[in-house]
């Protein structure tokens, strides 16, 4: 059976493509790699910002996006630990190579006037949390190694989820 190889892109709806591109390029240092009409969707356009050679963050602007209502606690979580409606993205976490990189990003984000919480030690990773335009909850994390399932799969939470230990 074929396997998924990673993330190609995450696509977010936006009513303000310019603000998203400015934030992700100027604050987070990502490079705009594509900005084009969305194929087969009249009036819609896509913007792609490069994470690495294989993955991007994308934004989709459609004429009716501005009519949608963003509501903290429903369509968007108010913070990294806040609720959001089922089927919505609670937050996006980007990866950096080291703790030094994490602190450098924290400082860069703060220098751009964006409040940042952390670093927070989660055991298998360290993270910072902040918000992007239009209420997008963002995180940057670093890990020395991937989480060990023997240490990080909690039997109590397995039972709570109603799944088997296997």
Task: For residue 146, name the pLDDT band (cuts at 50, 70, 90).
Answer: confident
> pTM of this prediction?
0.86
Task: Tell me the percentage of the chain whose pLDDT exceeds 90.
Answer: 57
Task: For residue 86, name the pLDDT band (cuts at 50, 70, 90).
Answer: confident
Query: Looking at the structure, do residues 9 and 42 belong to the same domain, yes or no?
Result: yes
Domain that holds residue 142: 74-166
For residue 13, what is the domain's CATH number?
3.10.180.10
Give the DSSP H or E segment for 111: helix 99-111
Say yes or no to pLDDT of 87 above 90: no
Number of domains in the chain: 2
CA distances from 80 to 49, 83, 143 (A): 22, 9, 18
| Averaged pLDDT, 95-114 | 96
Mean pLDDT, the chain, rounded, equals 90
Query: Looking at the structure, do residues 102 and 133 belong to the same domain, yes or no?
Result: yes
Q: Token pair for residue 77?
A: 């979580």
Strands 92-95 and 31-37: unpaired
């Amino acid at each position: 059976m074929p396997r998924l190889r990673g993330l190609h892109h995450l696509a977010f709806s936006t009513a303000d493509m310019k603000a998203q591109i400015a934030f992700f390029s100027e604050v987070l240092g990502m490079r705009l790699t594509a900005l084009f009409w969305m194929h087969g969707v009249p009036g819609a356009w896509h913007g792609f910002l490069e994470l690495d050679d294989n993955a991007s963050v994308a934004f989709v602007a459609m004429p009716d996006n501005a009519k949608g209502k963003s509501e903290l606690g429903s369509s968007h979580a108010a913070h990294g630990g806040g609720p959001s409606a089922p089927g919505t993205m609670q937050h996006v976490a980007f990866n950096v190579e080291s703790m030094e990189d994490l602190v450098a990003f924290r400082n860069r984000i703060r220098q751009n006037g964006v409040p940042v919480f952390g670093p927070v030690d989660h055991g298998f990773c360290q993270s910072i949390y902040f918000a992007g335009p239009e209420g997008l909850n963002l995180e940057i994390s670093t890990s020395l190694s991937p989480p060990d399932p023997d240490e990080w799969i909690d039997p109590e939470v397995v039972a709570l989820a109603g799944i088997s230990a296997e």
